[in-house]
Amino acid sequence: MKPESGARLAVSLLALGLPLALVGGWRAARSSSVVTMHARMSEDGGWSTETLRVAAGEPLQLNLISDDVVHGFAIGHSDLTPIDLQPGQMVRTTLVFPQPGTYTFYCTRWCGPNHWRMRGEIEVTGPAVSADAPQPPLYQTLGIDLDAPHPAAVVPARRPSAARGADLGIDLPATLADLSSSLARSPAEAWLELRADPSTDGLSGDDVWDLVAWVWRSYATDASIEAGAALFAQNCAACHGESGAGDGVMAGSIDVASMGSGGTSAPLAPADFTDAARMLGASPALLQGKITRGGMGTGMPYWGPVLTEAQIWSLTDYLWTFQFEESR
Amino acid sequence: MTSPSARRVILAPLLIGLAAIGWLLVPLRPALAPSSRTIRIEAGNFEYFPSQLTVQRGDRVTLELVARDVVHGLHLDGYAVDITADPGQTARATFVADHAGTFTFRCSIPCGPLHPFMIGKLRVDPSDTLARAAGLALLAVLFGAWLARAKADIPATVGAAAP
Amino acid sequence: MTSYELTRSPFARAMLKSRWPQLAVQLGLLGGLGLVIASGLLGTPVGSRSFAIVMVWIVWWAALMLVAVPWLGRAWCSVCPLPLPGEWLQRGVIGGPPRRGSGSARGLRWPRRLRGMWVQNGAFLAVAILSLPVLTQPRWTGILLVGLIVAAVALGLIFERRAFCRYVCPVGGFIGLYSQVAPVEVRVRDAAVCAAHTSKTCYTGNESGYGCPWNVFPGSLQVNTYCGLCMECLRTCPHDNVAINLRPVGADLTQAGPRAMDEAFKAILLLGSGLAYTALLLGPWGRARAAAAAVGSGAWLLYALGFLTFVAAALPALLLAATRLGLWLSRIRLTPIAALRTLSPALIPLGLSVWIAFSLSFLLANLSYAGPVLSDPLNLGWNLLGTAGVGWAPLGQVLFPWLTIGILIAGLAWSSQRLGAIAEGLRGGPRLAWPMRVVSLMLTIGVLAVLAP
């Protein structure tokens, strides 16, 4: 063998090695039952796979890796602990879905203005387990028009306090103590009902507002408000602001171009929860509806597939803290 | 007794050395009374706004990190500060700036391609490091000049040949 | 202080003459290069977790800047894996001595017009204006390295010797010029032996080894700039007249006379790019960085023009003006260009200190990324060394500002001394040096303002 054959062989091996590695890696990825999912900012493609399929009860192995910034992986309506994805670090996880259905997976760490669009679906196939048809959300049952304006007929002169309301020592009328009717009633409507009730005759207008706040606290527990605060910080504060005033860091970047038809032509600012005229005219059911269904072209995401009803009610319980004081 | 030229040889570096020591030790600025400060730092697009902070020694400083676009971190050298902020969740750290000097803070969470260059500086006054370093630089130039006089290592030539 | 011959020891001479230790290191590095390219092209796009980015621009660069170049001269070039495939094809042999009739090269001589450092200067500047994506995005690093290998193979098949290394490699000019500082050199023991030796096998080659791949005549080596420490001349000299010496640091800087135009320009170019990189990457000007990263955009074009104008026009003009002032003060009879070429070696300690301080800054800040990338080089979730989960932590950050000041001050003092020594050597006065000293002082203070306080 001529001496340079050795050299030629060596260089050829080196030159071929790279394409072979490429092909080998690609083929290995295709044949394996493990799904490798790359996470990118929504503007750069989002999740590399947006639909996954698995049979009920079968394990779904995922290799998750972020290709740019910090992302997170979680599944809506499940108790899976969200998995943080640090850039460039692969995380392996195995998921098992006992029940068939469609599950939404989503990103849990803000990764740009279109973070909330980073979602996909896992279709879990299998024999349908007979279950009760899911209840429609309260806003649908009540037939609330989510897009109609809802100005409050009256607003308080000072910030209502639930503790002051409790101190007034008034027995609430039965209609106001009932949860489902409380959820259907806006605070302004509650105020009007309380004002009309004889038991509040000696109280000032602001005192009656304190009673309205107390009504809120009678069904919103500490745990619920705390859960709502955490959900707000993680999901809402980026646009709505940590102070709830609609001045969050993402507020100026709401992606007008990607909104479908049916929205207004000018980008709207995120809702200002500190605006009494707007907030106090909305019932908790309306807020639940807005959160569940989204904003129909305003840039407000729809959280229905991601948050459970209980979580959304916790959020609405928390939202009233922008209007009411919990304590004196 | 040392000869006059030998004295000159020792004198120059001696003077330069004494000047350097003096320059390093003499306080250049009075310290102001410490106070409590809160500084809001916004982080976005691989930059900190503001990126250059100044506080007084002894100040109780609270840093508020506000992330504008993605998750960012802030790691401050010299003080045990390492916080991470998601957009919508301001992170806070409080510390007492008891060491004077200039300290670099960097992003501690990979936030994109230019992440390694996301840098800011915190100056705790009285800090005259730059002035002192500049003074030392001047003395270094003089020292080099003296070395060249004292120790010629290139044989003398008349001019130089054309290229 | 005189030099000490390392190869006086028979063991050292045997180790350096033997091809096998060198080949072993080269093969190891070639494997590393393959992994780097695989990581760059196939691994994660996240720079801080990329084997390619971390091992090349943090580990290798720091080793080059802090250890190899200042202390071992062009030792990296003797084991660099980039030219190896091309050289093996050219020689027809892997690592061994020449064999009759082997090799597939055309063996042309490098064109006269392309000699010198100009092509290298151009390659260096081309990489420099693309530096931000190259330093931060693994794909760019992978493509750059593949491109350099392809160029080295092509040039190895067309031209004789290590044409790529000597005339094209973007890092080569940098390493070559700053290797003048290193305390290691290859020199002949006795010039008379070379004069009497007619066949000059150190340059032409014989059955023991190849003629100098760096196109240098070892018999007349006076400075380190173009000697790649490949040891071929140790193997080919029949009189064992070639020696490796330890010598005082910076010995090559004391060579009298003006430097060649391309070398002088290179010294200015390297000083300028060191200053520019320090300001761009470590300064508070985020807009400039963003512009430098957005290759292809109008902002990037502006940055590229600004960078090139500064290093190739503004800084040379400033130094030329300082030289003119010095000539006027000292009344030395030289043209300004000739005087600047004579003074240019003094820019080497200054430029090197700026590069070392700059490199140390991001080395200390980012060395902790090495643990994770070594354990998981292809980002597949491996943990080969158990360090995949090691978090980022900057090192030595309280010490660093003082280290920076020390390094820059030392470089400035040395540069000032060189300026004075060169001026003294030009009978007519040390005043020639003062304007350049002032410029050096201003530039150093500028770097200090960015790096330390």
Question: How is C224-288 classified by DSSP, letter by letter?
Answer: STT-----HHHHH-TT--EEEEE--TTGGGG--SPPPHHHHHHHHHHHHHHHHHHHHHHSS-HHH
- From A142's Cα to the closest Cα of chain B, the distance in A is 33
Q: Which residues of A touch B (CB under 8 A)?
A: 41, 68-70, 86-88, 109-113, 233-234, 236-239, 241-242, 248-250
**Mode of pairing for the β-strands spanning A119-125 and A101-106:** antiparallel
Chain A residue at shortest CA distance from C91: A4
> pLDDT confidence of B4, banded at 50, 70, 90?
low
Residue C199's nearest CA partner among C237, C235, C231 is C237
Measured between alpha carbons, how far is A274 from A246 in angstroms, rounded to an integer? Answer: 9
pLDDT of residue A1: 47
- From C416's Cα to the closest Cα of chain B, the distance in A is 5
Residue C251's nearest CA partner among C172, C188, C179 is C179
pLDDT of residue C161: 92
Ramachandran sector of residue A101 (left: φ over 0; alpha: ψ -120 to 50; beta: rest): left
Measured between alpha carbons, how far is C373 from C49 in angstroms, rounded to an integer? Answer: 6
Single-letter amino acid, residue A97:
F
Asked if the C-beta of B90 comes within 8 angstroms of chain A's C-beta atoms, the answer is yes
Asked if the C-beta of B40 comes within 8 angstroms of chain A's C-beta atoms, the answer is no
Asked if the C-beta of C35 comes within 8 angstroms of chain A's C-beta atoms, the answer is no
Asked if the C-beta of B70 comes within 8 angstroms of chain A's C-beta atoms, the answer is yes
Measured between alpha carbons, how far is C369 from C59 in angstroms, rounded to an integer? Answer: 10
Residue A121: HSE in the Cβ half-sphere, 13 Å Cα cutoff: 7
Cβ atoms of residues C354 and C271 within 8 Å = yes
List chains touching C (3+ CB pairs under 8 A): A, B
Q: Is the pLDDT at B158 greater than 60, yes or no? A: no
**Helix (H) / strand (E) containing A37:** strand A35-39
Per-residue pLDDT, averaged over C376-404, amounts to: 88
Higher pLDDT, A72 or B16: A72
Q: Which residues of chain B neighbour A273 with C-beta distances below 8 Å?
A: none
pLDDT of residue C340: 95
Q: Across the interface, do C334 and B141 touch by the CB < 8 Å criterion?
A: no
Q: Which residues of chain A neighbour C41 with C-beta distances below 8 Å?
A: 18, 22
ipTM over 0.95? The verdict is no
Sheet (strand A35-39) strand order? A35-39, A59-66, A91-96
Higher pLDDT, A128 or B1: A128
Q: B119 φ, ψ to 5°?
A: -135, 145
Q: How many CB atoms lie within 10 A of CB A132?
A: 5
Q: Is C110 helix (H, G, I), strand (E, B) or coil?
A: coil
pLDDT of residue C429: 73
- Beta strands (DSSP E) in B77-145 are 81-85, 91-96, 101-106, 119-125
Q: Across the interface, do B130 and C425 touch by the CB < 8 Å criterion?
A: no
Measured between alpha carbons, how far is B91 from B86 in angstroms, rounded to an integer? Answer: 8
> pLDDT confidence of B71, banded at 50, 70, 90?
very high
Q: Token pair for residue A106?
A: 């989503």
Residue C22's nearest CA partner among C77, C85, C71 is C77
Per-residue pLDDT, averaged over C17-46, amounts to: 94
Q: Across the interface, do A4 and C45 touch by the CB < 8 Å criterion?
A: no
Residue C399's nearest CA partner among B75, A63, B77 is B77
Q: A102 φ, ψ to 5°?
A: -115, 125
Asked if the C-beta of C34 comes within 8 angstroms of chain A's C-beta atoms, the answer is yes
Q: How far is CA C425 from CA A324, B149, C254, C439, in A?
A: 85, 11, 10, 21
pLDDT of residue A299: 84
Measured between alpha carbons, how far is C119 from B91 in angstroms, rounded to an integer? Answer: 51
Measured CA angle at A191 (ends A188, A192), to 5 deg: 90
Interface of C with A in 86-145 (CB under 8 A): 88-89, 91-94, 99, 101-104
Q: Across the interface, do B154 and C341 touch by the CB < 8 Å criterion?
A: no
Give the percent of chain C with pLDDT over 70. 99
Among A11, A17, A68, select the one facing C46 at the smallest CB separation: A68
Q: Across the interface, do B116 and C289 touch by the CB < 8 Å criterion?
A: no
The crossing angle, in degrees rounded to 10, of helices A187-196 and A205-219 is 120
pLDDT of residue B163: 37
Give the percent of chain B with pLDDT over 90. 55
Cβ atoms of residues B68 and B76 within 8 Å = no
pLDDT of residue B7: 63
Positions in chain A short of pLDDT 70? 1-6, 18, 22, 25-32, 130, 255-267, 328
Measured between alpha carbons, how far is C365 from C359 in angstroms, rounded to an integer? Answer: 10
Q: Token pair for residue A190?
A: 């509650």
Q: Is A273 exposed, middle or buried (0-12, 13-18, 19+ CB in 10 A)?
A: buried
Residue B99: HSE in the Cβ half-sphere, 13 Å Cα cutoff: 12
Q: Across the interface, do A7 and C94 touch by the CB < 8 Å criterion?
A: yes
pLDDT of residue B149: 85
pLDDT (tens digit, 9 = 90+) per residue, A124-183?
998 877 677 778 888 888 888 888 889 998 999 999 999 998 888 888 888 777 888 889
Give the ranges where chain A is alpha helix by DSSP (H). Answer: 3-31, 138-142, 162-167, 174-177, 179-184, 187-196, 205-219, 222-231, 237-240, 276-279, 284-293, 309-319
Chain A residue at shortest CA distance from B71: A70
Q: How far is CA C379 from CA A38, A99, C48, in A?
A: 12, 33, 11
- From C122's Cα to the closest Cα of chain B, the distance in A is 22
Measured between alpha carbons, how far is C167 from C152 in angstroms, rounded to an integer? Answer: 11
Residue B74: HSE in the Cβ half-sphere, 13 Å Cα cutoff: 32
Return the residue matching tokens 């000490």: C4
pLDDT of residue A257: 52
Dihedral angle over CA of B117, B118, B123, B124, nearest 10: -120
- From C56's Cα to the closest Cα of chain B, the distance in A is 15
Q: Across the interface, do C42 and A6 touch by the CB < 8 Å criterion?
A: no
Q: A36 φ, ψ to 5°?
A: -95, 120
List chains touching A (3+ CB pairs under 8 A): B, C
pLDDT of residue A256: 57
**Helix (H) / strand (E) containing C346:** none
Q: Which of A14, A23, A36, A111 to mutate to test the interface with C (most CBs of C within 10 A)?
A: A14
Per-residue pLDDT, averaged over C323-338, amounts to: 92
Q: Across the interface, do A110 and B111 touch by the CB < 8 Å criterion?
A: no
Chain C residue at shortest CA distance from A4: C92
Higher pLDDT, C335 or A32: C335
Instruction: Give every CB contact of residue B54 below 8 A, 6+ residues apart in sequence.
Output: B122, B123, B125
- From C453's Cα to the closest Cα of chain B, the distance in A is 5
Per-residue pLDDT, averaged over C413-438, amounts to: 90
Chain C residue at shortest CA distance from B147: C417
Q: How many CB atoms lie within 10 A of CB C56?
A: 23
pLDDT (tens digit, 9 = 90+) per residue, C146-163?
999 999 999 999 999 999
Instruction: Give every CB contact of residue C286 below 8 A, 6+ residues apart in sequence.
Output: B45, B46, B47, B51
pLDDT (tens digit, 9 = 90+) per residue, C271-318?
999 999 999 998 888 889 999 999 999 999 999 999 999 999 999 999
pLDDT of residue B159: 46
Residue C345's nearest CA partner among C263, C426, C272, C439 is C263
Higher pLDDT, B156 or C62: C62
Chain A residue at shortest CA distance from B46: A69
Lowest pLDDT segment from B149-158, C64-73, C195-204: B149-158
Instruction: Give every CB contact of residue A134 below 8 A, 6+ residues apart in sequence.
Output: none
Q: Across the interface, do B148 and C424 touch by the CB < 8 Å criterion?
A: yes
Cβ atoms of residues C268 and C346 within 8 Å = no
pLDDT (tens digit, 9 = 90+) per residue, A287-299?
999 999 988 778 8
Q: Is the pLDDT at C206 greater than 60, yes or no? A: yes
Q: Is the pLDDT at B162 greater than 90, yes or no? A: no
Q: Is A65 helix (H, G, I), strand (E, B) or coil?
A: strand
Q: Token pair for residue A317?
A: 């319980």
What value does the mean pLDDT of chain B take?
86
pLDDT of residue B161: 41
Residue A103's nearest CA partner among A74, A82, A131, A68 is A74
Q: Across the interface, do A91 and C381 touch by the CB < 8 Å criterion?
A: yes
- From A264's Cα to the closest Cα of chain B, the distance in A is 25
Q: Which of C397, C407, C432, C450 to mutate to test the interface with B (most CBs of B within 10 A)?
A: C397
Per-residue pLDDT, averaged over B20-26, amounts to: 78
Q: Is C447 helix (H, G, I), strand (E, B) or coil?
A: helix
Among B114, B116, B134, select the one facing C366 at the smallest CB separation: B116
